[in-house]
Amino acid sequence: MRFSELNDEQIVALAISLEEEDARIYRDYARALEEHYPASAKVLNEMAKEEDSHRQWLIDLHREKFGDHIPLIRRQDINGFVAHKPLWMVQSLGPERVRKQVEEMEFETRRFYERAMVKTTDAATRKLLGDLAQAEQTHEALADKLGEKIISTSVEKAEAETRRRLFVLQVVQPGLAGLMDGSVSTLAPIFAAAFATGDTWATFLVGLAASLGAGISMGFAEALSDDGSLTGRGHPWMRGLITGLMTALGGLGHTLPFLIPHFWTAFAVACLVVVVELWAIAWVRARYMDTRFLQAVFEVVIGGTIVFAVGILIGSA
């Protein structure tokens, strides 16, 4: 269902579901952190209690305006929301990673309230949604305390952090997804063609087709994934364009060396380009995606090496 299709009752019902789910997630995080990070766990429990209060306000409003029966409308039922990882996938992570995930949740919920406030027609509902949007903005600042250190909450820093978050959501994430797919997925067909034919021009044509095809496919897949209205991920076609271009670029990087007529020279240059591509991906993941550099290197370089080897083995068969 699209957000634009919701009526006032459904908006309030969805808000109730969001507040309930967020409170449960915060309590799960608090329990996972309480042994080693008690201060962070305390902040999470306080945020969960506030979410409970917000949910009760919304339930009272629903009873007053629409009756006792509350329709079950959940985050996953509406286009544009991000699916949050379950606790077992983040339990081993420290408070800094949890803090960032909580910030993203609060940012998403605040955008929902801001859009819902404009869409609703009832004055009392609009006022409550506006108050909740302000409360979620306060929670974003409160989430800064989860690192068990004092962080400045000046207006300048808050604005800079918002810009950084939007840059990561709208540019870095789709671009990185495209670069990873283009760089890794095209390794096998390109190097398989190289060793199967021994012809640099034929290999170039295979690489060109694989790169452009992957770019078009990934671009449409990203553009159609969600409209970005609630997640802050930006216009879907802009994300699709970024993903598609980076996917094509990732494949073309190790395709262009095969314009060199001498096979082994072209192969050596292509291998060098692959190394640069994989290390660049690892650096971006470490810089923007909160992944340790060595872990990023292991995940990207090892995976790319396996795909690279598969292509050579198949091409040499």
pLDDT score recorded for residue 304 = 73
Secondary-structure class of domain 3-151 per CATH: mainly alpha
Residue 39 is which amino acid? A
Q: Following DSSP, what letter does each residue of 24-59 receive, concatenated?
A: HHHHHHHHHHTTT-HHHHHHHHHHHHHHHHHHHHHH
CA distance 96 to 98: 5
What pLDDT, on a 0 to 100 scale, did the predictor assign at position 89? 56
- Name the band, by pLDDT with cuts 50, 70 and 90, for residue 257: very high
Q: Please give the model's pTM, rounded to 2 decimal places.
A: 0.50
Question: What percentage of the chain has pLDDT greater than the value 70?
Answer: 79
- The whole-number pLDDT of residue 128 equals 83
The pLDDT mean for the chain works out to 78
Query: Which pLDDT score, from 0 to 100, does residue 71 have?
Result: 85
With a cut of 50, say whether residue 155 has pLDDT above it.
no
Residue 205 has pLDDT above 90, yes or no: yes
Query: pLDDT by residue (tens digit) across 31-90?
Result: 887 776 777 788 888 888 888 988 898 898 888 888 889 888 887 777 766 566 665 555
pLDDT at 158: 53
Residue ranges per domain, the chain?
A: 3-151, 156-316
